[in-house]
Amino acid sequence: MLENYDYSKDEIKEIYKKIGNNVKKIRKEKGISQLNLALAIGHKAVGVISNSELCLQDKHFNIEHLVKIAKVLEVNIKDFFEDI
């Protein structure tokens, strides 16, 4: 039988923050603005990117965001999960 493990809300939030930080780091390395990234993944404003990179207002990237961002930034999606 598999052991059940529950992550606390704080642990999950830290994971979201790390993913956001990794996206931000890679985006900056590629020289792409938050606005250009937002537009490239189908959003009209930077809010989804800026809030998710910093995990503000309980916003975070979902799998669809990460798949699209990985394609735009030309990286493997696994790069967003580094150090988790």
> Does residue 60 form part of some domain?
yes
DSSP-assigned states of every residue in the chain: -PPP----HHHHHHHHHHHHHHHHHHHHHTT--HHHHHHHTT-SSSHHHHHHHHTGGG----HHHHHHHHHHHTS-GGGGGTT-
Question: Looking at residue 53, what is its pLDDT?
Answer: 97
Domain count, the chain: 1
> Does residue 84 form part of some domain?
no
> Does residue 1 form part of some domain?
no
pTM for this model (two decimals)? 0.93
Question: Looking at residue 41, what is its pLDDT?
Answer: 98
> Does residue 25 form part of some domain?
yes
Question: Looking at residue 84, what is its pLDDT?
Answer: 93
> Does residue 37 form part of some domain?
yes
Question: Looking at residue 24, what is its pLDDT?
Answer: 98
> Does residue 3 form part of some domain?
no
> Going residue by residue through the chain (84 aa), what tens digit of pLDDT does each one get?
888 889 999 999 999 999 999 999 999 999 999 999 999 999 999 999 999 999 999 999 999 999 999 999 999 999 999 999
The domain that contains 50 carries what CATH number? 1.10.260.40
> Does residue 23 form part of some domain?
yes
Range of the domain at 52: 9-79
